[in-house]
Amino acid sequence: MGTGGAQVIDLAERRSHFVSQQSTVWSRRQQAVCVRRAYKRYGTTKNPNVILDGLNMTVPKGCIYGLLGASGCGKTTLLSCIVGRRRLNSGEIWVLGGKPGSRGSGVPGPRIGYMPQEIALYGEFTIRETMQYFGWVAGMETKAINERVEFLVKFLQLPPASRPVKNLSGGQQRRVSFAAALLHEPELLILDEPTVGVDPLLRQNIWDHLVQITKDSGTTVIITTHYIDETRQAHTIGLLRGGRMLAEESPSALLEKYQAESLEEVFLKLSILQNKGKRRRSSILHDVTQAIVLPPSIAAQADPVGETNLAFDNSNEMSGEFGDNVNPTLPPPKLGRRVSIAPNPAEQSPAPDDLPPDEEPEITLCERLKLCKSNHMKALVWKNFLWMWRNVSVMLFIIGLPVGQIILFCLAIGKDPTGLHLAVFNQEKMDSCGPIATGCNFELLSCRFLNHLLSKQQVLDYFPSEAEAIGAVQKGHAWAALEFAHNYTDVLKERMDAGRYADEWTVEESNINIWMDQSNQQISLLLKRDLVNAFQEFATELAVSCNITTQVVSTPIRFLNPIYGPVIPNFTDFAAPGVILTIIFFLAVALTSGAMLIERNEGIMERGLVSGITGIEILMGHVICQFAIMLFQSIMVIVFALIVFEVTNHGSVAWVALLTILTGLCGMCFGFFVSCITDSERNATYLAMGSFLPIVMLCGIIWPVEGMHTIVKAISFVLPLTLSTESLRCILARGWEITKPTVYFGFFSTLVWIVIFLTSSILLIKFKKG
C-alpha cells in the first residue's frame, strides 16, 4: 500500500480500464443472490481465521451457478451466510431481493430449498415421512407431497418410499436429502455437494433436471461440488479461493479466455496466477467486468427495460481473479497484502451506505404475538412424536426411569439401619440371657434391658472380657461395646430406691459402660437413640410393673405429640421431596438436551431453520412432546412415592403434582439451555453432570441448608431446586397450603427459573450464529 502521488496516478490510469457502472439497490435486488464485500472470519479479532475476504458474488435469477473451490475454502460458510444461518462480519447480501433474515424477505423460508453437506435426515423415518415433514414445513398439502414423492422417487432412482432412511446407502441418503430440497419447488435451490456418492449417469440426470427447472420455472440453483468438470452445464461458475472469487463467468468463457481444455485447468491457472500475483490488476478488473453470460431468455426476463447491465451488477465492485474485489468507494477489509485503490471523486458512484435502507414491512401486534406458525408446529410436533414412536424402547426406558429411581430411593434410603452388631460384656451373665423375667421382678436386670435392645432389631454378641468386647469394635465386627457390672441388678435397684441419696459407688456401678464406633454418624446417632430408647422402655416397664411412678425413671424433659411430623422422624420423609424433584428435573434435562443435540448435530435443526422454522418453534415443538412424557413421569413418581411407598403427605396432592410438573418444565428449559450453550453431546453431558452434584448438594436435598456455610447458603438460595424442595417438604410434611410464603416461594422461584432458561435458550438460538 502506498500513498505517494505516483501510485495515485497509476491507480487513476487503472481506473480508466474499469467499465463504469452505476450501482443501485434495485439492480442488486433483481439478482437471485448478490453478495458485496463479504468479510467473514472465525476465531477472535486477535487471532482471526479469515474465510471470506471482501468477496463479491452475483447470481442472476434463473441460472445455475456452480460455486467451485478447494476443500475448506469457505463455500459452505458462504452458503450459510446466504441462507441467513451465519452472519457476515461486514458486507452485504441480498437474496431474492431481500436481506436474509429480514422481515418479509422470505429467507430463511420456503422460497429456498437447501441441501446441506451432511445428510441432515432422521434415520428412523421413512423416505415418505421425511418428505412429509419437509413438505409440511414448506406449507404443502399432504396430497401434493405424495405426488411429488412419487415423482422424486422415480427421478432420483430411490428405493420404495416406505424404506427407512437409515437402511439406505450413503448415496441414496444424499439423494433423499436432495429430494427434500427439491420437494416444494423453491425459487432458489442451494445445494452443497449434491452429487457426492452419485453414479455418473444419475449425476448427469440430476444436472439435466437442474437445467430443466431453471428453464421451465426460472428456478435459480447454486451448487457446490468438488467435481469441477460436471459444472460445464452451469451458466456461471464462481471460482472461490483465498476468500475471494478468482473468476465469475460462464464455463465456455473461462475455457476460451484461459485457453484451457478443462475447468480444472482454468482453476489451476488462476490459482497459480493468484499465488504469484503476476497479472496486472487493471487487466484482471477488465476481465471480470466482462460479464456473466446469461441465457438470453433469462437476461430478457431479468432486465425487461434494459436499464441495467445484468450481465454484471453495476456496483463499482468487481469480482476478480486474485480476489480483487475492489470497491473504489470503500477500502477493502484490512488484511495482509491487500492493495487499496483510492477513490476518484469524479467517478464515485453512490456509496452503498448512501443507499436507501431496506424497507421491512410493518408487522402488527397480532403478528408479533403469534410466535409459532401452525404448519410448522404441526410438522414439528408430528416429527417429535414420530421420533419417539420409532424409538419406543428408548422412550419406555426414559418413562420408566424415574419410577425405577423412586422405587430404589424408597427401598434404599432413609430406613433405620438394623442388624447392627453390639459386643456385650455382661458380668452378671456371661453368655446369652435365656428366658427373661417379667413383672416386678428384680432379677438379671441387665438381661431385661438387653431384651429391649434386641427388639430394636440389633444383634448382640457376647464376649468374656472387656478387652475382647472392645477388640470386636476395633476390628470392625461391632458398632459398640457394652459392659455391665457383675452386681448390675443390685446396684441399679439400690440406685432406684435411694434416689438422690444413692452413694457415688452405687451410681458408678449401675452405669452401663459403652464404647462406640462413631465413624459413621448416621449409625452412631441411631444406636445412641436405640440405646436410650431401650433403657427408657425397660425402666418404664419395670416402674409400671412395680407401681412406681414413671416420672422417677425418666429425664425431666417431656416430648409431647409433635406439631408436624411423626414421633420418630425418618430420613425418607426428609429426603423424598428433594429426591422427587431432582429425579424429574434431571431426567427432563437429559431428555431435552439430548433431543435438541441429536437434532442439531445431525444438521436437521439447521435445515429446519433454513426452511423457515424458528428457534422458538423448535423449542415449542419439543416442549409439547416432552411435556407429555414429563407429565407421565411426574404422575408415576408421585403415585409410587405417596401411594405405594407411603411417603408422608399431609398436604394437597394437587399442589404436589403442580410443583413437580413445574420443576420438570424447569428441567426441560435447563436442558434447552444446556443444548444451546454447548456444541457437542460430550460438553452437554459434562455441563449436565457438572450441575447435578452442586445442585443436589446445595439445594438442601441431602442436608439441611441451615447447616451450610454462610456463603454456600446464599448460593443455595438462588439455585433452582432449593426453594421448591423446601416448598414441597412443607406441603408434604406440614400439610401447608399455597398461602404460606415458604410454599409459594417454591412455585415462584421455579417459574422465574423457567423464564430465565427459556429466554436464554431463545436468545442463544437467535443470536448464536457464526
Ligand X SMILES: Nc1ncnc2c1ncn2[C@@H]1O[C@H](COP(=O)(O)OP(=O)(O)OP(=O)(O)O)[C@@H](O)[C@H]1O
Alpha carbon distance 766, 513 (integer Å)? 71
Taking the complex as a whole, the smallest distance from the CB of residue 684 to ligand X amounts, in Å, to: 17
Residues 6+ apart with CB under 8 A from 657: 634, 635, 638
Nearer to ligand X among residue 70 and residue 339 (C-beta) = 70
Taking the complex as a whole, the smallest distance from the CB of residue 680 to ligand X amounts, in Å, to: 12
**For residues 181 and 131, is the Cβ–Cβ distance under 8 A?**
no
**For residues 320 and 291, is the Cβ–Cβ distance under 8 A?**
no
**For residues 248 and 290, is the Cβ–Cβ distance under 8 A?**
no
Q: Which of 627, 636, 631 is nearest to 595 (CA)?
A: 627
- What are the cell numbers at 592? 431435552
DSSP 215-254: HHH--EEEEEES-GGGGGG-SEEEEEETTEEEEEE-HHHH
- What are the cell numbers at 402? 424415574
Residues 6+ apart with CB under 8 A from 276: none
CA 375 to chain centre: 24
Alpha carbon distance 350, 352 (integer Å)? 6
Nearer to ligand X among residue 766 and residue 768 (C-beta) = 768
Taking the complex as a whole, the smallest distance from the CB of residue 310 to ligand X amounts, in Å, to: 27
- What are the cell numbers at 431? 453368655
Nearer to ligand X among residue 72 and residue 296 (C-beta) = 72
First to last CA, the chain: 31
Taking the complex as a whole, the smallest distance from the CB of residue 225 to ligand X amounts, in Å, to: 9
Taking the complex as a whole, the smallest distance from the CB of residue 609 to ligand X amounts, in Å, to: 15
Nearer to ligand X among residue 76 and residue 130 (C-beta) = 76
Taking the complex as a whole, the smallest distance from the CB of residue 246 to ligand X amounts, in Å, to: 14
Taking the complex as a whole, the smallest distance from the CB of residue 73 to ligand X amounts, in Å, to: 4
Taking the complex as a whole, the smallest distance from the CB of residue 648 to ligand X amounts, in Å, to: 53
DSSP letter (8 states) at residue 435: S
Taking the complex as a whole, the smallest distance from the CB of residue 87 to ligand X amounts, in Å, to: 12
Nearer to ligand X among residue 69 and residue 251 (C-beta) = 69
Nearer to ligand X among residue 76 and residue 649 (C-beta) = 76
DSSP-derived pairing of the beta strands 513-516 and 480-484: antiparallel
Alpha carbon distance 629, 391 (integer Å)? 13
SS3 460: strand
Taking the complex as a whole, the smallest distance from the CB of residue 728 to ligand X amounts, in Å, to: 43
Taking the complex as a whole, the smallest distance from the CB of residue 193 to ligand X amounts, in Å, to: 7
Taking the complex as a whole, the smallest distance from the CB of residue 59 to ligand X amounts, in Å, to: 17
DSSP-derived pairing of the beta strands 90-95 and 33-43: antiparallel
Q: Which of 150, 35, 12 is nearest to 86 (CA)?
A: 35
Taking the complex as a whole, the smallest distance from the CB of residue 72 to ligand X amounts, in Å, to: 4
Taking the complex as a whole, the smallest distance from the CB of residue 50 to ligand X amounts, in Å, to: 9
Contact set with ligand X (CB under 6 A): 42, 49, 51, 69, 71-77, 117, 770
- With cell 426414559, the residue in question is 398
Alpha carbon distance 38, 160 (integer Å)? 43
Nearer to ligand X among residue 50 and residue 733 (C-beta) = 50
SS3 195: coil
Provide the β-strand partners of residue 461: 423
DSSP letter (8 states) at residue 96: T
Nearer to ligand X among residue 43 and residue 694 (C-beta) = 43
| Single-letter residue type at 518 | Q
Nearer to ligand X among residue 562 and residue 770 (C-beta) = 770
Nearer to ligand X among residue 333 and residue 621 (C-beta) = 333
DSSP 372-402: S-HHHHHHHHHHHHHHHHHTHHHHHHHHHHH
Please give the backbone phi and psi of residue 197, each rounded to the nearest 5 degrees, phi first.
75, 15
- What are the cell numbers at 284? 484482471
**For residues 757 and 669, is the Cβ–Cβ distance under 8 A?**
yes
Taking the complex as a whole, the smallest distance from the CB of residue 194 to ligand X amounts, in Å, to: 13
Nearer to ligand X among residue 74 and residue 91 (C-beta) = 74
Nearer to ligand X among residue 227 and residue 627 (C-beta) = 227
SS3 566: coil
**For residues 483 and 425, is the Cβ–Cβ distance under 8 A?**
yes
Alpha carbon distance 321, 248 (integer Å)? 9
Nearer to ligand X among residue 32 and residue 51 (C-beta) = 51
Alpha carbon distance 60, 96 (integer Å)? 10
Taking the complex as a whole, the smallest distance from the CB of residue 763 to ligand X amounts, in Å, to: 19
Nearer to ligand X among residue 247 and residue 253 (C-beta) = 247
Nearer to ligand X among residue 428 and residue 602 (C-beta) = 602
Nearer to ligand X among residue 42 and residue 717 (C-beta) = 42
**For residues 245 and 318, is the Cβ–Cβ distance under 8 A?**
no
Cα separations (Å) of 650 from 326, 724, 743? 78, 17, 14
Nearer to ligand X among residue 224 and residue 725 (C-beta) = 224
My answer on whether omega of the bond before 108 falls inside 30° of 0, hence cis, is yes
Taking the complex as a whole, the smallest distance from the CB of residue 242 to ligand X amounts, in Å, to: 12
Alpha carbon distance 660, 652 (integer Å)? 13
DSSP letter (8 states) at residue 165: G
- With cell 411417603, the residue in question is 647
* DSSP-based helix, strand, coil % in the chain, nearest 5: 55, 10, 35
Alpha carbon distance 222, 469 (integer Å)? 88
Alpha carbon distance 451, 445 (integer Å)? 10
Taking the complex as a whole, the smallest distance from the CB of residue 75 to ligand X amounts, in Å, to: 4
Nearer to ligand X among residue 193 and residue 303 (C-beta) = 193
